[in-house]
Structure 1
């Protein structure tokens, strides 16, 4: 049973991605790790070469801006890394996602338990979405609750949409011609993904969000996020857990200048109505799930 990690990144330092920590957090459970590194100019590639040359392989890529609509370039990069792994299981970790060392035994145990059960095609993980600082997590119905991060490497699984999840296709050609694919049948591993997408400085976050939109929408302009403010959010809660050890240096060095003010929260009308109902029910009504969960 061989586990291969894979990811992609481009100018990770410039855009404030904890990509080094992301890779380090899963290396202990991976037999190899393949990273597709886009044409970076900020030392991203050089830093990765110093991590663990015995396990990490770098695939040099150039991001094709013809694929920017709908974030297809992200899927292309994920697939490039995926195509170069050799393991029985693929472990995808994105550049702003980190696993806690205390949860790694759960991951290896789950894979071993279901390795011979072909009905289990992958695993979903719950997410902790950090917002504004390392002390808050966003908990509204607007954030995704679970995503596939581990699946069997049978070469017919491809990155779905903008690489947020994965599906299985009848052939690579069918995938490239727009086939919707089949949702993977998965089990849940109770090991949260620490998603640090919302803890950059205001300046870096504005730059990141603009570039992200640029890679999704050709109409994006330079001023789209000139008034970005972390206070403009629906709901966050204090994080009461511990951060992964690989993140401790970043957490300790961070400025703790964000304090959420509930009076300034911004809700869409539908969400404001539905959120208290869903809080009582304990689930999101009509939640989109890009997987089939085995109980």
Structure 2
């Protein structure tokens, strides 16, 4: 069994991504890691090269600056990397996502288990979405609780955006991949980078979503969705958290909920009463 990892990056240092930590964690599982690196204004390319791991294969790319349709440029870059994977499985991690070292052998075991079961087209993970500070996680129907991150590399799939895949087993209609659960989490750190880095990210990416940059303020959040994190952070990301994570977070006690947040509160109550889970899933659970 061969497992490929892949991702895409651009201005990772400038935007405060723990991308080196993400790649190091991915290397705990993968036999090769393909990294599509867009032309950057910082040292992202040099930093990835400095990992000096023969399993890493870098593809230098140019982003389509005119592509402002719902972040489709991310899908393009994701697919450039995936289409260069040569493994039986393709494991996608975004630049702010990390695998725990305790879970790496579990993931390999799951992939081996389902290698010869073609009805399993992908593997989905639980998620820890850290928000504002490394000791807080966001738990709400607004934050996906599970997501597909591994796809079988021998099926006809594509990404309509950076988040999920569509399988085209018929020419005229696509569907979500059929998936099994990994029964371990992805650690998502995008919302604990410093406020300064997050503001810069908003400034740079807004044009790919056809809107003006929005001001960023971690304090403007429904504090009810934030819960203490009960686990341990992956070892590989702990130095980054100490050096780069936001240190001044405090939820605004006078924050007024948006209409969307009020709706999510209602959904959370329904989940609690009925014992159901109402977040959107981009996969079909088969096992």
Q: CA offset at residue 255 of structure 1? A: 5.2
Q: Which moved more, 1:191-200 or 1:251-260?
A: 251-260
Equivalent residue number for residue 285 of structure 2: 293
Unpaired runs of at least 5, structure 2: none
1:127 has 2:118 as partner: no
Give the Cα–Cα distance (whole angstroms) in 2 for the partners of residues 100 and 265 of structure 1: 36
Equivalent residue in structure 1 for 2:220, among 219, 228, 232: 232
Maintained 8 Å contact 1:231/1:265: no
Equivalent residue number for residue 104 of structure 1: 104
Give the Cα–Cα distance (whole angstroms) in 2 for the partners of residues 12 and 57 of structure 1: 17
2:57 match: secondary structure? strand
- TM-score if structure 2 supplies the norm length? 0.92
1:168 has 2:156 as partner: no
Q: CA offset at residue 113 of structure 1? A: 0.9
Maintained 8 Å contact 1:97/1:196: yes
1:117-156 correspondence runs (5 A): 117-154=117-154, 156=156
1:209 has 2:202 as partner: yes
Unpaired runs of at least 5, structure 1: none
1:1-40 correspondence runs (5 A): 1-40=1-40
Equivalent residue number for residue 44 of structure 2: 44
Q: CA offset at residue 262 of structure 1? A: 6.0
Give the Cα–Cα distance (whole angstroms) in 2 for the partners of residues 11 and 181 of structure 1: 33
Deviations 1:212-245 (A, max 9, x none): 332111xx224x21xx321211221111211111
Instruction: Please report the RMSD computed on the Cα atoms of aligned residues, expressed in angstroms.
Output: 1.9
Maintained 8 Å contact 2:125/2:148: yes
1:275 match: secondary structure? helix
1:280 match: secondary structure? helix
Maintained 8 Å contact 2:220/2:251: no
1:269 has 2:268 as partner: no
Give the Cα–Cα distance (whole angstroms) in 2 for the partners of residues 180 and 138 of structure 1: 34
Maintained 8 Å contact 1:6/1:91: yes
Change (3 A) 1:120 1:138: same
**Number of aligned residues:** 282
